[in-house]
Amino acid sequence: MKILIGIDGGGTKTEAAAATEDGRILGTFEAGPSNVFKVDAAASAAALESVIEGCLKKAGADKKNVAALCAGLAGVDRPTIQQQTIEVLSRIVPIQEISVVGDATTALVGATDGEPGMVVISGTGSIAYGMNTQHLRARAGGWGHIVDDFGSGYDIVRNAFNEVFRAHDGLEPPTRLRQAFLDVLEVDTVDNLLIAIHRDYTSASKVASLFPKVQEVADGGDIIANKILERAGHNLSSIAEAVVRKLDLHNQTFICATAGGVFQSSHQVRDSFAWYVHRYAPHANVCFPKKSAVEGAIMLARLTLQGKSFF
């Protein structure tokens, strides 16, 4: 039995699936982050090994059954890191048919089921990636939380923190985000909130983990929280617009898939995003992905086994 393995790895988690040659998934497994810009090389390699071994065990298969593997990973767009990751995977599964691409690539392939279109991802970070009918590709965003990631879970929580402190200073109206953060961080004053943030929320993924709390406050009717989510949708539409412009999609009909935890959880972000997208791309089909990024990786693994290229 020949097994295909598809991997989707980022700054929050890494997921893998073992599948048959026709794409039928036999087993999946999840582990910690594998983005080499968020964790060290050893932790990244450990996460990759864990998900490979885990999904094979779930599938009742062995490494000797693996015929091809594709990993879509955040942070591997640079050739040096890509080659290092291939070497790591080759030590785990000693086969030739290994491909490593950016996580946006596997997300795109899965989201459109291999057809031209675009995927916009908002999770811990954010990025837009697309391909037109001429197989030209373009991306926008995805430069990391220090300089970018607008509209991401990290960005939403950072803006929510900002509103709490501005309200405390009298610069903005009161918001229920204040009490929500005091409760979840188990502190009693805004001063202690600041201490807790600087002590315990020093990574992008840790900050982004508070996104559900912002969503909860917004769903409860808080005006400030809702404005933050609506602004996130607008920001995400801006990176989508950059891809539309680069690929000349303004008057085309295409899938514009919305992926990642923020889009999945927030109707405010989805609605805002779709409204702005339709202003410059009226024929865009804004929808959830047809398939997952892991399934996209499996599709690419199958092409690798067949000696073909997607692009």
Q: What digits encode the pLDDT tens for the residues 187-213?
A: 999 999 999 999 999 989 899 999 999
Residue 74 has pLDDT above 90, yes or no: no
Q: Please give the C-alpha separations between residue 144 and each of 85, 103, 204, 229, in angstroms, as whole numbers.
A: 20, 14, 9, 19
For residue 168, the model assigns a pLDDT of 98
When mean pLDDT is compared across 76-80, 106-110, 114-118, the lowest value belongs to: 76-80
On whether the 3-110+292-305 domain is CATH 3.30.420.40, my answer is yes
Domain boundaries for CATH 3.30.420.40 within the chain: 3-110+292-305, 114-289
For residue 311, the model assigns a pLDDT of 72
Identity of the residue numbered 41: A
- Which among 256, 204, 258 is positioned nearest to 232, based on CA atoms? 258
Q: Please name the helix (run of DSSP H) or strand (run of DSSP E) that holds residue 5, with its range, or none.
A: strand 3-9
Residue 52 has pLDDT above 80, yes or no: yes
For residues 35 and 273, the model is more confident at: 273
Q: Please give the C-alpha separations between residue 128 and each of 14, 28, 180, in angstroms, as whole numbers.
A: 20, 26, 31
Assigned fold of 114-289: Nucleotidyltransferase; domain 5 (3.30.420)
pLDDT band per the 50, 70, 90 thresholds, residue 179: very high
Query: Which tens digit of pLDDT belongs to each residue from 227-259?
Result: 999 999 999 999 999 999 999 999 999 999 999
pLDDT band per the 50, 70, 90 thresholds, residue 12: confident
Compute the average pLDDT of residues 105-131.
Answer: 95
Q: Classify residue 40 by its DSSP letter.
A: -
Around 82, how many Cα atoms within 13 Å sit in the side-chain half-sphere? 12
Taking each helix axis from N to C terminus, what angle separates 153-168 and 223-247, rounded to the nearest 10 degrees? 140
* 252, 115 Cβ separation under 8 angstroms: no
Residue 129 has pLDDT above 80, yes or no: yes
Return d(Cα 111, Cα 12) in angstroms, integer: 20
